[in-house]
Amino acid sequence: MASVHTAAYRIFRRHGLTTVFGNPGSNELPFLRDFPKDFRYILGLHEGAVVGMADGYAQAKRRPALVNLHAAAGTGNAVGALTNAWYSHTPLVLMAGQQVRSMIGLEAMLANVDAPQLPRPLVKWSHEPACAEDVPRALSQAIHMATLPAPGPVYLSIPQDDWERPAGAGSEHLVERRIASAGLPSPAQLGPLLERLNRAQNPLLVLGPDVDARNAGAAAVTLAEKLGMPVWVAPSASRCPFPTRHPCFRGVLPASMAQIARRFAGHDLVLVVGAPVFRYHEHQPAEHLPAGTQLVHLTCDAHEAARAPMGDAWVFDIPGTLSYLAERVYNAVRPLPTVLPRPERASDEGSGKKLRPERVFDVLDAVAPDDAIYVKESTSTVSAFWQRVAMKYPGSYYFPAAGGLGFGLPAAVGVQLAAPERRVIAVIGDGSANYGITALWSAAQYRIPVVFLILKNGTYGALHWFAKILGAPGAPGLDLPNIDFCAIARGYGVRALQATSGDMLEAALREALGADEPVLIEVPTTPIELI
């Protein structure tokens, strides 16, 4: 009879989970013993970076990723990064080590007491098998749970002495199991929605990250064009579901009730697809919808549908439903919206040897490949980035879905691993960079050619803006001067450049994009004026 160890690797191999992201401790070594030659292990120096790398990898692959954590302490280090994975519907299989079974009740060192409770509520399912024989079945369940709609992270705690125990009878059947989910509604169910779209006088489309995650952007473009609809990206956008130079594209909705309601004024029907309704942030109480506006919500997540404060919801397969609607909706007589005017190109004018962020993004848009992938974590410059950088293709943009800092640097490493045929450019604020800085070591060790663009303004820019809004000017802890990112990068083995003018930035970007190794570019920037 096969051991639990052998059965587990057979299950992982059958599901394509042959890349393991981890930071091992003693509890995990029995799992890693005799590591198969057809698997690869990507080491991160902190569990937050480990989960960030896996998050980016799984999102870009559109498949689950396997994460190996160290007991309670390692899981605790990873929980912050789990907030982003949870809200981005990332299918992660988190597998943590546990003390030997006979020592858990004694609360021995490295025992994870009440292990399944630790990562909740940021996982779909959390479990510790009652016996070693059930570990293979639990692993199979974890993989299927992570991928079934709506996808998301799952957690499994496995005692270290389980791996060499015999697998349960029938464990060989787990390798061949497949689960299919069918979420495409019937014509009878979609008929009323189709009728409402055809009847609408001035409809508007709001697209969220699940449209890009499910590769449904082409259907969204067809639907928008046939109905002549303006298209907004849902607030707090973590992916780009619509080409940003298309005539229908209007931008990203602000994360405020009052401001969203103002943008919906004059529209009789709002169709929201692949996003919650809505991820508000700034507290500006208002009516959720203006008078005369109705809202329809299409989502893969029953929880999102249930908690929405307004509108009718359909919990259906997003690409199948969008394609059905796009094929059958009437061609409207209304013209397409006018293309948004491009902002004027910014000059080098800054403060001393600092660039304006707008200038950085203009250079980036001119130099980067058409199919570049941007991993963005500079929260104060999000609006300027969306206005100035073109994104045409699916899977071109990733941002922390829950706003949890530390995503950007490691996620960029994971995305580049998953998409080696495209170039990944990580646009990271100096405040954000410090949360995931150890990912530079992984990039260097595995020679992952990410371009890390660090916007260094010496402040938490978004917090300075919030300090004004919330009446807290002069609050402590909002500035972080005197950090040398070039020195830090070189210490981790990453080539580093600095750019203090537009011409220097262009030359540095071209050099970095031509390299087959990671390169960090530090760009001193001025704080941006938020609106």
Active site residues: 25-26, 28, 47, 70, 281, 403
Q: Which helix (H) or strand (E) holds 454?
A: strand 451-456
The span from the CA of 300 to the CA of 58, in Å, is 18
CA distances from 307 to 150, 276, 301, 487 (A): 15, 9, 10, 47
Q: Tell me phi and psi for residue 14, to 5 degrees.
A: -65, -30
Q: Tell me the one-letter amino acid at 419.
A: A
CA distances from 364 to 333, 420, 500, 509 (A): 38, 20, 14, 8
Using the Cα atoms of residue 464, residue 237, residue 257 and residue 227 in order, give the sign of their dihedral: positive
Residues 6+ apart with CB under 8 A from 241: 207, 208, 209, 211, 212, 216, 217, 220, 233, 274
CA distances from 523 to 259, 264, 350, 380 (A): 32, 38, 12, 15
- Pairing type for strands 203-207 and 269-273 reads parallel
Q: Tell me phi and psi for residue 326, to 5 degrees.
A: -65, -35
Cis preceding-peptide flag for 278 (omega within 30 of 0): yes
Pair 75, 119: CB distance under 8 Å: yes
Show the CA angle centred on residue 207, arms to residues 205 and 212, nearest 5°: 145
Q: Which SS3 state, helix, strand or coil, does residue 516 take?
A: coil
Q: Which two tokens stand for residue 422?
A: 């495209």
DSSP H stretches of helix in 148-301? 187-199, 209-213, 217-227, 257-264
DSSP symbols for 356-391:
-HHHHHHHHHHHS-TT-EEEEE-GGGHHHHHHHS--
CA distances from 228 to 193, 244, 250, 251, 316 (A): 17, 16, 13, 16, 24
Which residue in 228, 286, 302, 223 sits closest to 254, CA to CA?
Answer: 286
Q: Which SS3 state, helix, strand or coil, does residue 20 take?
A: strand
DSSP symbols for 140-193:
HHHHHHHHSSSP--EEEEEEGGGTTSBPPTTGGGGGG-------PPPHHHHHHH
Q: Which SS3 state, helix, strand or coil, does residue 66 take?
A: strand
